[in-house]
Amino acid sequence: MSGRHGVTSKARKPATKKSSGKQAASGRKAATKKSAAGRAAKKQAAKKQAAKKRAAKKQAKKAAAKAASQRRVFFFGGGRADGHAGMKEILGGKGANLAEMTALGIPVPPGFTISTDVCAEFNRRGQKLPVALKADVLTALANVERLMDLRFGDPERPLLVSIRSGARASMPGMMDTVLNLGLNDETVVGLAKMADERFAFDSYRRFIQMYGDVVLDVPHDRFEQRLDAEKEARGVQDDTELTAADLRHVVADYLEIVRELTHEPFPQDPQKQLWGAISSVFGSWENQRAIAYRRINDIPDEWGTAVNVQSMVFGNMGDNCATGVAFTRNPSTGERNFYGEYLKNAQGEDVVAGIRTPQPINDESRAAGTMKQSTLEAEMPKAYRELVRIYKRLEKHYRDMQDIEFTIQDGRLWMLQTRNGKRTTGAAVRIAVDMARERLITREQAIMRIDANSLDHLLHPTIDRTRAPAVVARGLPASPGAACGEVVFSAETAESRAKGGAKVILVRIETSPEDIVGMNASEGILTARGGMTSHAAVVARGMGKCCVAGCGVLSINYEEGLMRIGEHLVREGDVMTIDGSSGEVMLGRAPTVLPELGESFSELMKWTDKVRKLKVRTNADTPQDARVARDFGAEGIGLCRTEHMFFEPDRILAMRQMILATDLRSREEALEKLLPMQRSDFEGIFRAMDGLPVTVRLLDPPLHEFLPQAEDDIQAVADSLGRSVGDVRRSLETLHEFNPMLGHRGCRVGITYPEIYAMQVRAISEAAVRVAAEGVKVKPEIMIPLVSHEHELRDLRRLAEEVIAEVRREAKGSRVRPIIGTMIEVPRAALTADRIALHADFFSFGTNDLTQMGYALSRDDAGNFLPHYVDGGLIDADPFVSIDTEGIGQLVRLGAERGRAAQPGLKLGVCGEHGGDPASVRFFAEIGLDYVSCSPYRVPLARLAAAQAAIEASTKADE
């Protein structure tokens, strides 16, 4: 058959079922491929569009910020506001939220905010307001007058204002406030005509008192004494019982007090009052309590405060008026109950200052066991219903628990403030989890809501502050929790008393590893010396014991068994309470409250584990520590210190015999005694950590720490060795070092006495083999400490591998094979990490010693002067508490990068105290470490901080 162009074509065979199936499948595959490509293209286009939108939004935000920075005064009122909630940097928290509520249509008294930039300018100009501010303020004030239909300074219909501070971070009560500003001898008469005489003169006496205290530096007590005298003279308890005539007398005397102490009459010009109050509130940013609060809460000094000038509304005009404070959820428990207090016929400071006992706003707010009281819900149902509607709207809008302030004037509700409410850690966890379940926030946002450091308060016993005795001294809050017990001055006494059933507080000038048994037996530890990472602090945190360190006012006399704390004399056996969360020391017994973690905490921890990439191990030396840590979610042991095991009474003698042995044979005999003890320790730990890695650090401290000091101990060692006391003393002298922490310790002991490390490696390996035979999944890791040169690790690794091979042969082919790594804790090791990595399966950064050596600081002595560095602003934080990211952190980064460059699969971790510090954990996550290790009670903190670091990294990547 001819083709169209004369080309012969073969007849086409009919398609078989198999070939048509293939063609259909091929078509489906192509269609799927095309569809996937289409989806990918759409996804890519959507991504580009989202990126464009983000860029445009960012640009608009930048432009708005630039425009806002050029303004000094921001008005709010009548449903219109110049600012919004996102402008806290410029308007402060109070001003930003007043603007936001106004824009939402919530009833807010009109006013204006003077920006934080003016505060900065005020301070730069030697506490003088800029001249150009006056016109802006007067323009805004005129707008307030228009909305309120009142005039500032008008003797007939006076406008009164409040002057309040408002930093971007909440600083309750730290700065100053002036209420009822604008009153004078004339306007008080006009106010009396608008309302009633008693209310007018009550407001005037309040204003004179506040203005006198805040602006004129008249002691607050002088006014209070006069008011108390008037109440006593009239035979009344509360100021609400004073009549208008009584209050006239009080006002006259208040004015005279001001004249007497300032030698000037009280200012009658409202304009002068206004500028005096604005200057004073700006100036209160630099008062001592505000400075101290900023230091405690890490609020930067340069932030400054805004000043809010707002029309007064009155809760003290009569029985249909009230003022109150409420929380949209319970701030103590986190329960979803509207919770608050109010006072009828009062102003806001009456509630806050505790001048009168407030009443609950509803039945849910009533404290358990208290008498039934009248509630706002019952007394003013209409205002209460509106308050409920507004609080629900605010919580939904801000998506967080709100702390709100309100005033009811003549039955009308006004909102004076909303802010994210302060809450206990337990409440914070519950609120975050509940809000995520309610879909107000995401799980990631719930995780970010919790301050990781605050979890400490959940994990340790706390003092019941309602029944606590007076504080007699303060030290460093070295290990959180609370403890109460009899004072003892030695580890031996602590152990014996504890065995007899007593609860004891071990009080020492400073602790050493020799005190480990007594520390373990104690409820808490108190030391006169030492810092946050001193021996006492580190060991106490590992044990979950409460510890107050560096309490310098203690004068301890071991021989007489007594201690002086100022005027107090404390003898052994006296009862004492210490709070490791605050560093407070109390004489007498204070009841403690055990923490209840609850279901919300468990749920939050599950969410963190799904998000984080950084693993969290624990520092644990006993099976009990290991079990506690595992319950807290530890994923292995990152540091098991073997030296603590040798201080047990039945072991220390053999350890001393080994150290003081004069020949190899005697040393090996002593080590033979120690071998089964060490093996038993490791067996217990391996069982407790079934399926999880356990990193065991070989002997690290200087040998002199194990040597006897007391006469009886020296005699016991001499008898056991068959030597004279004098001979043993000479041996002790030869082991003395001038700087032992930089001397014969760590791997240097293993190099000079390889039999010591060989015994420890054998104990680890034999324990692993035995426990594996029981069906336990064992993952042993041997860590060689204080390596500074690659040849040290090379030779000690060879020694360890020989012992491991020998144990495996003896066990007839056991498959257990510990991996071998090192601690990077010497600066030279970090710098030469590429060479050291050739002999290591893992690195664990010992940031305690790395900080000591990098800073040339003794962590046990730095507590005497480091606080001055932090307080004086020389450094941001104690480098032993939070990693110095610019210095020591760069050694860690460098060591990690060079180690992995030489050996890509190298496992990297941290086992210093920084492993439990949230800020440090974030840094370690950022530089790509595999895990951190910390004390058992800090494991949840590290888990949360690791999750927060992962969320922050993901957010940055999306941007």
Residues involved in catalysis: 535, 911
Alpha-carbon gap, residue 894 to 854, rounded angstroms: 14
Alpha-carbon gap, residue 13 to 381, rounded angstroms: 90
Burial of 809 (0-12, 13-18, 19+ CB in 10 A): exposed
Identify the CA nearest to 233 among candidates 245, 218, 217. 245
Six-digit token pair at 239? 């100021």
Are 401 and 328 a contacting pair, CB within 8 Å? yes
Are 860 and 898 a contacting pair, CB within 8 Å? no
DSSP H helix total and E strand total for the chain: 35, 34
Identify the sign of the CA torsion 202, 204, 207, 208.
negative
* Helices 220-234 and 244-262, packing angle to 10 deg: 150
- Tell me the one-letter amino acid at 759: M
Identify the CA nearest to 946 among candidates 523, 591, 589, 450. 450
Long-range contacts of 123-131 (CB under 8 A, 24+ apart): 123/282, 123/285, 123/286, 123/304, 127/279, 127/282, 127/283, 129/275, 129/278, 129/279, 129/282, 130/72
Identify the CA nearest to 525 among candidates 544, 506, 501. 506
Tokens 């006198």 belong to residue: 212
Are 531 and 877 a contacting pair, CB within 8 Å? no
Are 341 and 361 a contacting pair, CB within 8 Å? yes
Alpha-carbon gap, residue 341 to 361, rounded angstroms: 5
Long-range contacts of 51-57 (CB under 8 A, 24+ apart): 54/959
Alpha-carbon gap, residue 634 to 626, rounded angstroms: 9
Six-digit token pair at 271? 């304009």
Distances (CA, A) of 259 to 153, 180, 247: 22, 20, 18
Coil vs helix vs strand at 569:
strand
Coil vs helix vs strand at 848:
helix
- Tell me the one-letter amino acid at 461: P
Are 696 and 640 a contacting pair, CB within 8 Å? yes
H or E segment and range at residue 592: strand 592-593
Strand order in the sheet with 111-114: 80-81, 73-77, 111-114, 305-311, 161-167, 177-181
Identify the CA nearest to 756 among candidates 700, 705, 824, 836. 700
Alpha-carbon gap, residue 731 to 677, rounded angstroms: 26
Tokens 């041996």 belong to residue: 731
Tokens 């107050």 belong to residue: 548
Six-digit token pair at 310? 């707002």
Alpha-carbon gap, residue 908 to 898, rounded angstroms: 12
> What's the number of CA atoms in the CB half-sphere (13 Å) around residue 10?
3
